[in-house]
Amino acid sequence: MAVCVQDNRFDIVTKNTLYQIKADEYGVLCHLWYGARTDCHMDYLLDYPDVGFSGNPYDVGDKRTYSLDTLPLEYACEGTGDFRTPAISITHEDGSTALDLRFLEYRLTKGKYSIPGLPAVYADEKEAETLEIVLKDTASDVQVVLKYGVLEQADVITRSVVVTNKGESAVVIKKAHSLCMDIPYGDWDWVHFHGRHTMERQMECAPLIHGIQESGSGRGTSSHQQNPTVLLCEKDCTENAGFCIGAALMYSGGFQTQIEKDQLDQVRLVMGIHPKTFSWKLAAGENFYTPEVILSCSVEGTAKLSQRFHHVIRNHVCRGKYQFSERPVLINNWEATYFDFTEQKILDIAKQASELGIDMMVLDDGWFGKRESDTSGLGDWFVNDNKLVGGLQSLIGQINQMGMRFGIWVEPEAVSEDSELYRKHSEWVIRIPGRMPVRARYQLILDLSNPVVVDYLYDRISKILSENHIEYVKWDLNRSICDWYTDRLPQDRQMEMPHRYVLGLYELLERLTHDFPDVLFEGCSGGGGRYDAGMLYYCPQIWCSDDTDAHERTLIQYGTSFFYPTSTVGAHVSAVPNHQTGRDTSLKTRGIVAMAGSFGYELDLSTLNNEEKKEVAEQVKKYKEYQKLIYEGTYYRLSNPFEDGMAAWSWISKEEAQILVQGVVYRSASNTLRRRLRLTGLNEHASYKESESGRVFTGAALMSGGILLPRLTGDDAAFEITLIKWK
């Protein structure tokens, strides 16, 4: 049993961790512990200081040391004496906002709960258990169910919340976070992943200061600018030692992560839908379901924590035919042609690619409507017969005849004003009457909170997929969303729209992925602008960034690796000078960096000379040889590229039989010793043979002495070392 309950104390025990909470004598649900297994009641850590200006609930009488403002709480409310940031905030019919949630009952069931309309971690009855703790407001009929999905062997706990209005009048939810956790001990850094278009998920680590620190998105998508993931690391935590907690919100819309260090140096972490673009009117008898947070912790540093997230995302979030199977090596025409292509040009690219062993031709933006540039055509999902004279079927037929599979790009959520769809249904776009909408990349957004729009998009996309032999879809979205308004909702429900939009998107993706199970869906939002566990439920891979520069990609992929497995990272070799940065990197470097993901190409192969083509063919062959290891192996970051002047990573196969080490040294230097790279995750008593030199090392030597990298010349020089277990 992963969950043990005794005297209203709940021990959530996984293979290596313990999460402990208890409902105390007043029914207040206190957080006691999240960390290593201790086999102990951790309530001895609860302290009750007499702190001035931290008041006491009426029902504790004269106990002036009992304060909701100082206790570690499991789901913090507003307006009843806890002055820290709340997890939930509600306005009652009379306009008051107080809530005082106390324990009512609990339920334990086998298996993992699911969430209506939202993606969620899935697991069968042997793999998971669900704990539900029901809390009730002391004065109103608002109830809150805290759900815990426990994946014992995976060392993962999920959290989500259901808010229920059992009263007779409506309440308005202003904030209902999925996760709230108070940590009354430790000295912490927080790590989050910020960025911008073409530079996503830059890792940033900072000591917690008193007050609230926050990351989030109010852009309608999870965004390039912040990622819905966070780490709390104790000061001495490294890749391979020390304590850290990780949380990933499984949601693709606006989100908020808040961390508050309070007057007593205690830490509160809350995470959920961003209140800036959310409110929800909950009528009598209705439920509101929050998205879920995936939670894990490690006493063995951040590498182990990342591996747990990789495991749960790969095995319990991603779904479908391509969840485990090998993915096609693809060539995408975007950086090769942008909008300027003909059928012949695409066929030429495909022909050359097929000769080099590439499996799939992906036709990117520009194949539909009057899409000659990014000013027109979005929404018109029928073929542009100026460019593709024979139509899609003829193009796909010819590509299939070359032995290549075919994939296509779409951006269903957006519309150009210069399009037939907009001329016919301008009322489908998101805009506020009396205001001109914000245009971004010249485009507007279709209102996916409207079921009519979702049905229309389903019909259009499914028609294309059923009439053509399409085996891959790249699902893009190239702007942030604002101008929230719909005349389908009354004035006091307008801010339900951003969440309803996300629900509409999920419904559309669910229907399409269900009805076209053989199609590989790759998520994309101008690269990695919607790289989150929510999208990964529908798309097992996501185009990681519009920045294809190998140097910058090592930084982006480093940040991405903290939560997301390599199999989810769309990565391509592109042309030099790189189109985003102008940087030149060798074909070898570009190949090695793109291999740390779902591999492909994005350049005009006819510009390569014969030697380069040969190198491409070798890269494709090598990737296919290593794909299983890259997808299934245990991943280690071997350097911090922000500090070490190099990026290095490795995968170790399940049985430790095979090890692949790759990396890029950023700057060359004269008259230096060769660099030493320490490996991790090996068995110190085993021996490993390096394939190229044939030299045998012990695991202990490789992990403490390290391995000498080849003498590299030139900037951004890549290396690759393979080892096999010898004894």
- Catalytic positions, please? 532, 612
Residue 56 exposed, middle or buried by CB count within 10 Å (0-12, 13-18, 19+)? middle
Is the distance from CB of 709 to CB of 669 less than 8 angstroms? no
How would you classify residue 707: left for phi > 0, otherwise alpha for psi between -120 and 50, otherwise beta?
beta
Task: Determine if the peptide bond prior to 577 is cis (ω within 30°).
Answer: yes
Q: Which residues of 494-515 are buried (b: 16+ CB within 10 A; e: fewer)?
A: ebbbbbbbbbbbbbbbebbbee
CA distance 126 to 513: 26
The answer for residues whose C-beta is within 8 angstroms of residue 434's C-beta and 6 or more apart is none
Q: Cα separation of 46 and 366, whole Å? A: 61
Q: In what order do the strands lie in the sheet with 280-282?
A: 88-91, 171-176, 280-282
**Residue with smaller CB distance to ligand DGJ, 316 or 530:** 530
DSSP-assigned letters across all residues of 697-724: EEHHIIIII-EEPP---STTEEEEEEEE
Cβ at position 543, least distance to ligand DGJ in Å = 5
Closest to ligand DGJ by CB, 165 or 580: 580
Which structure tokens are listed for 12? 């959530």
CB of 163 to ligand DGJ, least distance (A): 36
Alpha carbons 358 and 515: distance in angstroms, whole number: 27
- What's the longest Cα–Cα distance across the chain? 86
Task: Please tell me what DSSP assigns to residue 323.
Answer: T
Report the 10 Å Cβ neighbour count for 80: 20
In terms of CB distance, is 300 or 365 closer to ligand DGJ?
365
Measure the CA–CA gap between 34 and 79, rounded to whole angstroms: 27
Q: Smallest distance, Å, CB 374 to ligand DGJ?
A: 6
Q: Looking at beta carbons only, is 313 or 363 nearer to ligand DGJ?
A: 363
* CB-CB contact of 99 with 143 (8 Å): no
| Cα–Cα distance measured from residue 90 to residue 109, given in angstroms and rounded to the nearest whole number | 29
Q: How far is the CB of 627 from ligand DGJ (least distance, A)?
A: 22
Cβ atoms of 26 and 67 within 8 Å: the answer is: no
CB nearer to ligand DGJ: give 86 or 526: 526
Residues lying near ligand DGJ in the complex (CB under 6 A)? 334, 364-365, 409, 476, 478, 524, 526-527, 543, 546
Residue (320 or 529) nearer to ligand DGJ, CB = 529
**Closest of 408, 416, 434 to residue 332, by C-alpha:** 408
Residue 195 CB, shortest distance to ligand DGJ, in Å, is 14
Q: Which is nearer to ligand DGJ, 31 or 572 (CB)?
A: 572
3-state secondary structure 87-114: CEEEECCCCCCCCCEEEEEEEEEECCCC
Residue with tokens 């992990």: 703
CB of 527 to ligand DGJ, least distance (A): 4
Considering the complex, what minimum distance in angstroms separates the CB of residue 526 from ligand DGJ? 5
Q: Do the Cβ atoms of 299 and 36 come closer than 8 Å?
A: yes
- 3-class secondary structure, 422: helix
- Residue with nearest beta carbon to ligand DGJ: 365
Report the C-alpha gap between 124 and 117 in whole angstroms. Answer: 19
Which phi and psi (to 5°) does residue 202 adopt? -80, 120
Q: Which is nearer to ligand DGJ, 288 or 334 (CB)?
A: 334
Amino acid at 404: M
Closer to ligand DGJ by CB, 218 or 527: give it: 527
Q: Which helix (H) or strand (E) holds 65?
A: none
- Written as one letter, the residue type at 169 is S
User: Smallest distance from the beta carbon of 364 to ligand DGJ, in angstroms?
Assistant: 5
Query: Would you say 165 or 545 has its CB closer to ligand DGJ?
Result: 545
**Shortest spacing between CB 524 and ligand DGJ, in angstroms:** 5
Burial class (CB in 10 A: 0-12, 13-18, 19+), 234: middle
Reported as half-sphere exposure (CB side, CA atoms, 13 A), residue 284 has a value of 4
Number of helices (H), then strands (E), belonging to the chain: the values are 12, 39
Q: Are 150 and 3 in contact (CB under 8 A)?
A: yes
Nearer of residues 35 and 527 to ligand DGJ, judged by Cβ? 527
In the bound complex, what is the minimum distance in angstroms from residue 572's beta carbon to ligand DGJ?
Answer: 9
Residue 465 Cβ, how far from ligand DGJ at the closest point, in Å? 18
Find the shortest distance in angstroms from Cβ 310 to ligand DGJ. Answer: 23
Of the pair 381, 697, the CB lying nearest ligand DGJ is at: 381
